[in-house]
Amino acid sequence: MKLLHTMLRVGDLDRSIKFYTEVLGMRLLRRHDYPEGKFTLAFVGYQDESEGAVIELTWNWGVDSYEMGNAFGHIALAVPDAYRACDEIRARGGKVVREAGPMKHGTTVIAFVEDPDGYKIELIQHG
Ligand SMILES: C[C@@H](O)C(=O)SC[C@H](NC(=O)CC[C@H](N)C(=O)O)C(=O)NCC(=O)O
Ligand code: NI
């Protein structure tokens, strides 16, 4: 088996694509409308789908928000320097909700950013 994607339902597809590409530096890999189902899928990531897992942004036409609940945790990204990544993301208009630093009860340096719908993106300092 192989990890292919994580699907997130979003309330404004262009807003989300702008965030994942311009703030987090991902590429828009493909986008496709499904008029019979009244939804659009957009895949974003740092690699082609054949090379690595991506995020599938799902927009249900006419639905602009979702109950976020408290079960979903986060999607994690590896960064060389979490402190610097937070500064760069903030400078690009991103929302840092947990500043970089060692995780509670551990030593891994992490930070959290929120996407436009409120999904958490974890930055993990690697290397
Ligand atoms: C290692 C890295 O991938 C993590 O996600 S650890 C982050 C850490 N997670 C938890 O504490 C999980 C238990 C928690 N009760 C929950 O349900 O989320 C975390 O979120 N730490 C917070 C911090 O500010 O360090
Ligand atoms: Ni994590």
- DSSP string over 51-103: TS-EEEEEEETT-------S----EEEEES-HHHHHHHHHHTT-EEEEEEEEP
For residue 103, report the distance from its CA to the centre of ligand 1, in Å: 7
pTM given for the model = 0.96
Residue list, CB under 5 A from ion ligand 2:
76, 122
- Ligand index nearest the alpha carbon of residue 105: 1
Atom of ligand 1 nearest to the CA of 73: 18
Are 124 and 79 a contacting pair, CB within 8 Å? yes
- Residues 16-63 have pLDDT tens digits of 999 999 999 999 999 999 999 999 999 999 999 999 999 999 999 999
- Residues 84-106 have pLDDT tens digits of 999 999 999 999 999 999 999 99
Q: What is the ipTM of this complex?
A: 0.94
Per-residue pLDDT at 127 exceeds 80? no
